[in-house]
Amino acid sequence: MSDGHTLLDTPEPGRPNRAALLIGGGLAFVLLATVGATVGWVLAGPDESSPTDPPAASASTAATSAGFPTSAAALPPAEQPATVAPTTPRTTTPPGPSTDSTSYVTVPDLVGDGFEGARSDLRDRKLGWRLVFGTGLGEKVERLDPAPGTRVSHGTTVKVYVAGPAPEAEVPDLDDYDCADAAATIVERGFYPRYRTGRVGKVHSQDPEPDTTQHWNDEVAISCGATEE
C-alpha cells in the first residue's frame, strides 16, 4: 500500500499512461532533430574550408593564381612539360656585302725599294702612283699611302714617299709621235705630260726642247694635231 502517486501508477481505465506519453514524445523529438540535421548537411554540400579537402585542389588553386595551367601544375616534377628556348641560327658568312675580288688589289710592301722599281711594281698591279720626293739622301722608298697591305680598287693612286730629292732626267725628242704614244713616253721618263691643243693627232712641238735636262715630276708640254697659229 502506498502513501502517494507516482508516474508509474497504473492508469485509470480509459485513460493513457502519462509516463509512456512522455518517453514516446522525447524519442520522437530526438529522431526528428537527427533527420533534420542530416537533410540540412546534404542540401548544404561539403564544407569548402574542411581540412579533409584533397591536396590536389590546393595545389591546383595555387598554380592557377601563379599563372600556370592547372593541368601542368598538378603534374609531378618529372612529368612537367619541358620548355625549349629558341636557338639563334649561326652562320660563318662574314658581315658586309660581297665584292668581286678581281676589282681589288692589295698594296704591296715596297718600303726600302728604289722608287723606280716601286713605280714599276705598282703599274704591274694596275695601280697609279705619285712620287713625293724628300730632302734626305738616296732613292729608297720610306713609306706608302695607302699603307702596304691595304686592299684598294684597281686604278687607285698610291703616293710613294722617297727619301731624297728628285733626280735629273733627260727630255726625249717627241717630234711626229702620236699624241698618246708621246704621253706614255713622257711618263716613262719620269715627267708629266701637259696638252696644249688637245690629245689627238701628231706631236708637232714640245717644251722643253729635246735632250734638255729636267727633274723627275717636271712637266713636258706637247702640242698635238693642228699647227699652232
The domains of the chain, with CATH numbers, are: 103-165 (3.30.10.20), 168-229 (3.30.10.20)
Could you tell me the pTM of the whole model?
0.54
Residue 103, pLDDT score:
87
Residue 82, pLDDT score:
53
Q: Which residues contact 81 (CB under 8 A, 6 or more apart)?
A: 72
Q: Which residues contact 223 (CB under 8 A, 6 or more apart)?
A: 195, 196, 197, 203, 204, 205, 206
Residue 101, pLDDT score:
57
Q: Are 191 and 229 in contact (CB under 8 A)?
A: no
Q: What is the pLDDT tens value at each position of the chain, 229 positions in all?
A: 445 444 444 455 555 555 554 555 555 555 555 555 454 444 445 554 444 444 444 444 444 444 444 444 445 555 555 554 544 444 333 444 445 556 899 999 999 999 999 999 999 999 999 999 999 999 999 999 999 999 999 999 999 999 999 999 999 999 999 999 999 999 999 999 999 999 999 999 999 999 999 999 999 999 999 765 5
d(CA 9, CA 127): 146
Q: Which residues contact 197 (CB under 8 A, 6 or more apart)?
A: 223, 224, 225, 226, 228
Residue type, 22: L
Residue 17, pLDDT score:
56
Residue 175, pLDDT score:
94
Residue 90, pLDDT score:
40
